[in-house]
A = this chain, B = another copy of it.
Amino acid sequence: MIEPFRTNLPLLRDVARVRMYTDCTMDEETILTRSADADAVMVIGFHVPDAMLDRFCGFDGGPGHVRCFAFGGTGVASYIDLARTREHGVRVCNIVHYGDHAVAEHTFALLLELAREVGRLNAEVRAGDWTGADGYALHGKTIGLVGFGGIGQAVARIANGFGMKVAVWNSHVDPMAAAGLGVDLIDDMGDLMERSDIVSLHLPLLAETAGIVTIRELDQMRPGTLFLNTARAEIVEPGALTARLLRGDVRAALDVYEREPLPLDDPLRRVPGIVLTPHVAWRNDEAYVGLTRQVVQSIRSFFAGGDFNVAN
């Protein structure tokens, strides 16, 4: 992501002095030392623990004086204590819609690995096995989307291309978007799960969506359903997905987890045929360009007195 950042840094000319390190470290002391005199910090994919937040901002009486965190992601509530920053007047910025296509495309990469098993077949051919496997057709199947924002709509467009039927549950749906994409709106999330061949989650993580998918809805999935989550694990009631999947009659592919990195002893790893990727759905060339531009714009706006992408 270094090159896309460099490309956008001229936006900060005459606004801020920029210090950029091109090595990668997750060591908290190194990060705090390097940002000791910073007014603003750009953060990508790093969880800021409470104690570290205190030191960044000087809440602990120390020299830290960060007043703005510009995150390169949408679900910032997973990465920093938003209430605590708000209480102290520290700005947190997120970014929006930069990765709609990237996440929608990864959703289909996961779905097609369940449907056609290219990863497994490639390994078998390399090992000299020519047995192959029967695939699962997408054409004519119904995909049920929980959530219908930018990502959900991008998923619906792709599903239309495959000749799939699209059903949607969402608390608020833009009727124009629904009509334009020819989707069926379903009032009850459990009904959506029951009538879908494939279920995919596309809600943002907010106070109102945390735990909104419960075991009651998950239980309505029929045997043979394919389940996808490229959104956030926390929108599902804690433990409910693992409990549902361990029954073994639903196949799943996931990019997000309650704990990341996924612990080696996590019971999800024992679900038969599960496909796991390490929270990479948002990561592609197109998204990096949009993401870095928005992060730099957030910092520029903060220093210039604007309110671009404020999340808290």
Q: Which residues of A contact B (CB under 8 A)?
A: 101-102, 105-106, 108-110, 112-113, 115-116, 118-126, 128-140, 157-163, 253, 260-262, 264, 269, 275-280, 283-288
Q: Given A139-B105, A159-B161, do A132 and B278 touch, yes or no (CB 8 Å)?
A: yes
| Chain B residues in 8 Å Cβ range of A105 | 112, 115-116, 135, 137-139, 162
| Supplied contacts A109-B115, A109-B135, 12 more A-B pairs, CB within 8 Å | A101-B138, A101-B139, A105-B162, A113-B119, A118-B275, A119-B120, A130-B261, A134-B284, A135-B280, A135-B283, A135-B285, A139-B286
Q: Which residue of B lies closest to A141 (CB)?
A: B286
> For residue A129, which residues in chain B have a CB less than 8 angstroms away from its CB?
278
Least CB distance, A261 to chain B, in whole angstroms: 4
Q: Are B125 and A276 in contact (CB under 8 A)?
A: yes
Residues of B within 8 A of A110 (CB): 118
Chain B positions within 8 Å of A109 at CB level: 112-113, 115-116, 118, 135
When chains A and B are docked, how far (Å) is the Cα of A286 from the Cα of B116?
13
Q: Contact check, A283 vs B132: say whether CB atoms are below 8 A apart.
A: yes
A36 to chain B, nearest CB (A): 28
Asked if B102 contacts A286 (CB within 8 A), the reply is no
Contact B122 A286, beta carbon cutoff 8 Å: no
In the assembled complex, which residues on chain B have CB atoms less than 8 Å from the CB atom of A139? 101, 105, 286
CA distance A136 to B284 in the complex (A): 5
> Are B116 and A106 in contact, CB atoms less than 8 angstroms apart?
yes
- Which single residue of chain B is at the shortest CB-CB distance from A140? B286
Bound: A260/B131 CA distance, A: 12
Residues on the B chain within 8 Å of A120, using CB: 119
Interface centre among A161, A264, A279 (most CB of B within 10 A): A161
- Distance in angstroms between the alpha carbons of A129 and B278 in the assembled complex: 9
The complex places the Cα of A102 from the Cα of B49 at a distance, in Å, of: 48
A122 and B275 within 8 A (CB) = yes
Q: What is the chain B residue whose CB lies nearest that of A161?
A: B161
- Smallest CB separation, A78 vs chain B (Å): 16
Residues from chain B with a CB closer than 8 A to the CB of A275 are 118, 122
Distance, CA A104 to CA B116, complexed state (A): 12
**How near does chain B come to A137, taking the closest CB pair, in angstroms?**
4
With a CB–CB cut-off of 8 A, which chain B residues contact A288?
A: 134
> Which residues of chain B are within 8 angstroms of A280 by Cβ–Cβ distance?
116, 121, 132-135
Contacts of A138 in B (CB 8 A): 101, 105
Give chain B residues whose Cβ lies under 8 Å from the Cβ of A137: 101-102, 105, 284-287
Minimum CB–CB distance from A264 to chain B (whole Å) comes to: 6
Please tell me which one of the listed residues B102, B261, B276 contacts residue A126 in the complex, with CB atoms under 8 A apart. Answer: B276
A122 to B123, CA, bound (A): 12
